[in-house]
Structure 1
Amino acid sequence: MRSDRDQVGRRIVLAEDGVLLREGLTGLLHRFGHQVVAAVGDTDALQQAVAEHGPDMVITDVRMPPGYTDEGLRAALSVRRVRPGLAVLVLSQYVEQTYAARLLESDGAGLGYLLKDRIGDIEEFAAAVRQVAAGATVVDPEVIRQLLRRRRESSPLERLSPREREVLALMAQGRSNSAIAEALAVSEAAVTKHIGNLFTKLDLPPADTDHRRVLAVLAYLRGG
């Protein structure tokens, strides 16, 4: 059940350089009881509107004039620093993982990152606006999937084969090569080969063997 606070219409500054989408979003937000106090097409106007109107929420495209890179996101984070607690919902045409991560790393609640395709589901979009305005964090499911995939792929441990992971786990227990060979029922030569491979995959260049073992174990522990 929604609280009374969740149902109250919010005063919103909307920043979207596309005129048709800006007009459409304005009408949609009015339909759901919100007041769009300013609808602007660039980040300078966004910052001015926030200063003038003191809105409850900013909804902005990530890519705005003049560079069409991350101007909208940077402007939203800037006004939020000036007005802590200002709800911010960022819209993006595509999943831009770096931008999503930057938004979510900022302080406080009341943040959202939504793909523009999600606006096609009017009820879902209205729910996202309501939740962000009420202080929740809302992230498009596709963004979450890609962020998690990037995190997995960026971990050096993901490069290891299942057998190399087993060898590394036993190394983390302090086992010697011969003890690892006995535990896995393989030859000591095979263990030595696996260790050499995992050193390479963990980007540990040739150096003192004991030192590389320590670094490999540390990478294993950090990776959970």
Structure 2
Amino acid sequence: MLNLDFGVVLHGQYLNWLINGALTTVSLFAAAWIAAFVLAIMLVALRALELRPLEFIIAAYVNYHRNVPGLVQIFVWYFGVPELLPSSITDFINEHNGEFIFALIALSLNAAAYMSEDLRSGLRSVASTQMEAARALGLNYAQAMRDVLLPQAIRISVPPLINQSLSLFKSTSLAMAIGVAEMTYASRQIENETYRTFETFALASGFYLLMSWGIMALGAYYNGRHLQVKGR
């Protein structure tokens, strides 16, 4: 019979570790999501130009990030890339929480590849005549993409983007492999000291569930508002 005692975990430095781990996870997710979304929009806009060399480069980027495990990508950035950089830059990064920075870069680039494909599918759903109409009104390519096509593509792509957001949030746990003190890292550290395995990882699971439900709720709220606006 298990002798459960959550009080051991939710006390003193262990509670602080959990709180700091949760904050680090949320910070890593938020920063990676913003960077990935901005990069994904740029990739979609560039790919829509249909320039063959650019198309090849972006396709290679997407295929790499979709087919190489996320953990390997994090290792490439944390262990491999610093060897290619000048020592002064590597030292500067390491002095400013290098583990977090390299995990952020790897997660952002990975998520951007997936998001760009979702946005690209959304863009294909927008009538091509809208670009012609926008150009006829005097808008240049960048203005037409920014003001006419991309806003519609984003609205269409919300459901798959929510799924990618959930995937990105869960992938933040991979950062523990290079020493980022996020929730999974903190939970493992507490479990090693207290031997309260069930209590520790039950709390961690609860955190991930609540955050995932929150992300899904935001997506449902957005879709509900969008449908109401369309129905008016």
Give TM-score scaled by structure 1 length: 0.23
More helix by share: 2
Q: Which has the higher contact order (CA 8 A, sep 6+)?
A: 2
More strand by share: 1
